[in-house]
Amino acid sequence: MLYSKVLKPFFFKMDPEKAHHLVIDGLAMGSKVPGTLAIMNGMYGVKPSPELKSNVLGLTFEHPVGLAAGLDKNGVSTDGLSNIGFSFAEVGTVTPKAQSGNDQPRLFRLPPDEALINRMGFNNEGSEAMSKSLQRRKQHKMPIAVNIGKNKVTANELAHEDYCSCIRTLYDDGDFFVVNISSPNTQGLRELQHGNELHNLLVHVCEEMDIQARKRKAPAKPIFVKIAPDMSDEQLEHTVATIQNSQISGIIATNTTLSREGLTHQNQGETGGLSGVPVRDRSTEVIRKVYQLTNGNVPIIGSGGIFTAQDAYDKIRAGASLVEIYTALIYKGPEVLRELTDGLKECLRRDGFSNIVEAIGADHR
């Protein structure tokens, strides 16, 4: 109630990007004050429950709901995020060198559509700065996924060098990694999702992960590829086949969309990636197709338009092992984590499942 009655009206009177920074900086600063993390956890934390706990690729998740990339671009607020109910968080997208991103304004709310449009352009402080931030963590309560990308000035044929550079710098700081080739806000980036460019990129990325693992005499950490919702069925088939033929661990479906179908708010004309409720059904459809194409053998993280427990459960039944939120956090606040996890437990009881793992891909059986 605190968020919906007090904080949201305050934030929604502000410029969206200023509000974004206020939240992230507040979480980061608050985690440095003794006792604040415990207060956050008491107010918003999600209590562990056996029916929601799972293991994916050797990593333990207390429940399926994590934070999608784009909110904590520099990895500065992971302690705060882990105490408001998330079971994992994607930080980034990070690039080797710091970059300012696209011109402002570049983040827009569409309240009646429960959506956001962003054209941020991978604004971040660079991989070295993120590494220092993640090394300052006080707690390690949840897995951290490092979402990596290329600098705007790097040509696509050299993109693998940027991704590998991020891996080298951040390998010890992340629990798993995400290759972002699907943001619509870096010119030409989505071309890396297809054909020889994708194959070449994934070969280099997997080789770098193996090199770092061998140096540490340990198994390579998991690495996912985040794909766009805007591919045709044929494109999706080819992309998934290329991913399967590599050593990539899993797929995140999906990133933001370029579609504007069904929008009513005046900001619908802004360029950039659309997130929130309008992308919900398409992302679930892509999850379903990816699960079918991989015969359920490749872990999927479902992302896009999750506002209710049923939204999350639909993605899990379609084939997602885990799910992520972003826009729902902006519109509903941290209370949404308890709403989602409590609701997921009700969904499991309704369908006669004793653990969330039993529901993964249930629609295909």
> Which residues are part of the catalytic machinery?
183
- Give, for 93, the enclosing helix (H) or strand (E): strand 89-94
Question: Using CA atoms in the order 240, 188, 72, 87, what is the torsion angle rounded to 10 degrees?
Answer: 0
For residues 200 and 193, give the distance between their C-alpha atoms in angstroms, rounded to a whole number. Answer: 11
Task: Please name the residue that has the structure tokens 């429950």.
Answer: 49
Task: Please name the residue that has the structure tokens 């939120």.
Answer: 325
Q: 336 φ, ψ to 5°? A: -65, -25
For residues 151 and 159, give the distance between their C-alpha atoms in angstroms, rounded to a whole number. Answer: 8
Residue 124: strand pairing partners? 99
Q: How do 144-148 and 89-94 pair as beta strands?
A: parallel
- CB neighbour list of residue 97: distance below 8 Å, 6 or more residues apart: 126, 151
Q: 54 φ, ψ to 5°? A: -150, 165
- The per-residue b/e assignment along 314-328, b for 16 or more CB within 10 angstroms, e otherwise, is bbbbbbbbbbbbbbb
For residues 194 and 138, give the distance between their C-alpha atoms in angstroms, rounded to a whole number. Answer: 40
For residues 27 and 303, give the distance between their C-alpha atoms in angstroms, rounded to a whole number. Answer: 23
Rg of the chain, C-alpha, whole Å: 19
Q: Specify the length of the chain in residues.
A: 365
Q: If we measure between CA atoms, which residue out of 180, 161, 167 comes closest to residue 216?
A: 167
